[in-house]
Structure 1
């Protein structure tokens, strides 16, 4: 009788087996998609909280923007460490814990009475939890489970965040309008908590765990856990920071974050409200951005599999910059066709930058691409954090958001030029050998 090695040892993986009619990788991607949707409520809420918190506690918009800033910054800084922790402890454990932290932090805001508590609960706790659920999660799942169709899968998982926005934003806007901001934060908490069983029961860390090869690739044994996750993340940062492409990717993605999460997601609703538009109508427009974001991001993933990622980024940033320069002319008390055109156009471009950015990180840095992308994502969130704070401060100082729209449009033009300066070839061997 032929004996097979036990499946639990890292050096003796289970005997490879043929995939079924539908490869297991697609089920893992589906679980990841649902997980990202379930945790997306936290990203939909900050823009809806600015006016209610200002009215109830008399906190300045700059103070509220500071809490959002801390959230966005920690979201980004946590991401590369989360990618390394997933290599050490597994995707399932890290993601489940992150969802519990998001749920607890969001729920705790119900009882806050001081601004520092908003910074602690929403800024620190939700920021740390959401950082572990960041796009590094999508990059890790894609890198492990897919060899073919990586661009498409990256686009689909990136679009999950927009789908979550689509699901939650109208509901949260209605709750805030009809029942106040507290029921909305409880809803976010429960949605994150609901996803935990799906992650724990259905998500798997590596194809070798179930005796399969990655989709479109060859079977490989599951690597042994990588010790020193924090040290590895920092070492990869220092290695990649010695290369020019890293700084170009980090710079362009910082501008991406500034012009999306920091500006539009955080300040579009209060800016539209300044022009007399009802909050529910403005939130509905952001939800429409989410609809077209799904289309644009999946399409961008498809394009990334076929075209030069640098040129795609240049086009995306240039078009985004033009649209932001025009936005102050389009805001009005009611929703008019030119504003709808902006919403559709901006939605198609919202996170279309993610698939080509991940592809360039993978091309330049090989097996360490997910961790490098985590650091690039950190720059994205730092850019978002700066503009989330400065946007609220500009509103307090100038009485409008116009100067922030114009500045962001100019930055997007700079990002388009930086994208074309990224080298098309890998600068050298992957960093893994020296980073571990």
Structure 2
């Protein structure tokens, strides 16, 4: 059978989309500049909450939205909301304009990021799907690697407001590329998904995969198991969404030089980019449960090291912490897509469950993000909030083990 190379064009486009819609919007690189411009820690956290609120709403209506519009048109329109957001940030001089900009960026994040790109990848791949998920979401890590330095260079050369307008233009460029190149399904181009039909792929998997990889029918989650899965991703939202959006402030509020802070964020972003690809390969080789547990343990250890590094102003520990925390912070993106695909292989069920999980994840971030700002304003540090978030990560490890054990046992009893 002729290989479907256009599937990798879809991966490339998904990378461009996630670079801006996830990487730029959720990156904490802009937060210190906003605070330098007059916002308080609490106001900055409120912007995160407003963005998350609109993101939750936008994600919740994704099912209806993409029934009216194709993936191509829907994502292109969503990216234009991102362009409006950054254009508003560039002219903002009072809090309410910042707030409106945050709401627009949340809409972009909700309808033009991980949900549609995950569906696009699932449509185009029946083989190496977790790897494709990993490469796609790795682009947001690339954003964290390069964006801090780009923002600093552009801000030093021009101004922060001009930098934001340049970022708005980038959203428009990616929107145009999306409209021109994205194809919703391989059948629309007369192609089969990468790896062939589902039947051929499942037969190949049964012959080649190791005993610890779950084959079709080995997992049968109940409604209770889905409730547990929702709780897991709610806690991940509380833990990961909030910490990633406040990572730069963890260091800057401890008095660490901004140049060092931006370098640490870049290190975390580079580690995230690599981590997402490694998570995909790891999941394809083993399974989503093992990958999640291993990566979450590494992430929790990294968060504790980052807290100690911020407190002691230790650059070596800061580098180690950011490498571990960034490299393992994949559970909400690649992890969600992989676990959902593993538990719910039916395409329609996968789409519905993924939308729900994304809403729940963002809801966790919406609820927990203001607590970060409140704690920081109260004690003058983000360290206690990060320690609290680390404990939530440990809880999710226990819950994911319970979930998979129950889903496997239910399949055996059926």
CA RMSD of aligned residues (A): 2.7
TM-score scaled to structure 1, two decimals?
0.81
| Residue of structure 1 equivalent to 2:307 | 328
Change in Cα spacing, 1:184 to 1:252, as seen in structure 2 (3 Å) is farther
Q: How far off is 1:22 after superposition? A: 5.1
Which protein is bigger by CA-based radius of gyration?
1
1:69 aligns with 2:49: yes
| Residue of structure 2 equivalent to 1:112 | 92
Q: How far off is 1:80 after superposition? A: 4.5
Residue 78 of structure 1, aligned match among 38, 55, 58 = 58
1:418 aligns with 2:399: yes
Aligned-partner SS, 2:246: helix
Q: Aligned residue pairs: how many? A: 387
Q: CA offsets, 1:140-197, max 9 Å, x none?
A: 0121111111111011111111112223222113444665431232122111111122
TM-score scaled to structure 2, two decimals?
0.85
- Whether the aligned pair in 2 keeps the contact of 1:80 and 1:371 (CA below 8 Å) is no
Change in Cα spacing, 1:48 to 1:369, as seen in structure 2 (3 Å) is same
| Residue of structure 2 equivalent to 1:148 | 127
1:319 aligns with 2:301: no
Aligned-partner SS, 2:61: helix
CA distance in 1, matches of 2:74, 2:319: 39
CA distance in 2, matches of 1:385, 1:99: 21
| Residue of structure 2 equivalent to 1:236 | none
- Whether the aligned pair in 2 keeps the contact of 1:176 and 1:184 (CA below 8 Å) is yes
1:260-339 map, 5 Å? 260-263=240-243, 265-331=244-310, 336-339=315-318
- Whether the aligned pair in 2 keeps the contact of 1:275 and 1:331 (CA below 8 Å) is yes
Change in Cα spacing, 1:363 to 1:88, as seen in structure 2 (3 Å) is farther
| Residue of structure 2 equivalent to 1:35 | 17
1:343 aligns with 2:325: no
| Residue of structure 2 equivalent to 1:10 | none
CA distance in 2, matches of 1:158, 1:41: 9
Q: Which moved more, 1:276-285 or 1:110-119?
A: 110-119
Change in Cα spacing, 1:386 to 1:174, as seen in structure 2 (3 Å) is farther
| Residue of structure 1 equivalent to 2:160 | 181
Identify the structure with the greater helix proportion.
Answer: 2
Residue 5 of structure 2, aligned match among 18, 23, 34 = 23
Q: How far off is 1:72 after superposition? A: 2.2
Gaps of 5+ in 2: 200-219
| Residue of structure 2 equivalent to 1:136 | 115
- Whether the aligned pair in 2 keeps the contact of 1:262 and 1:386 (CA below 8 Å) is no
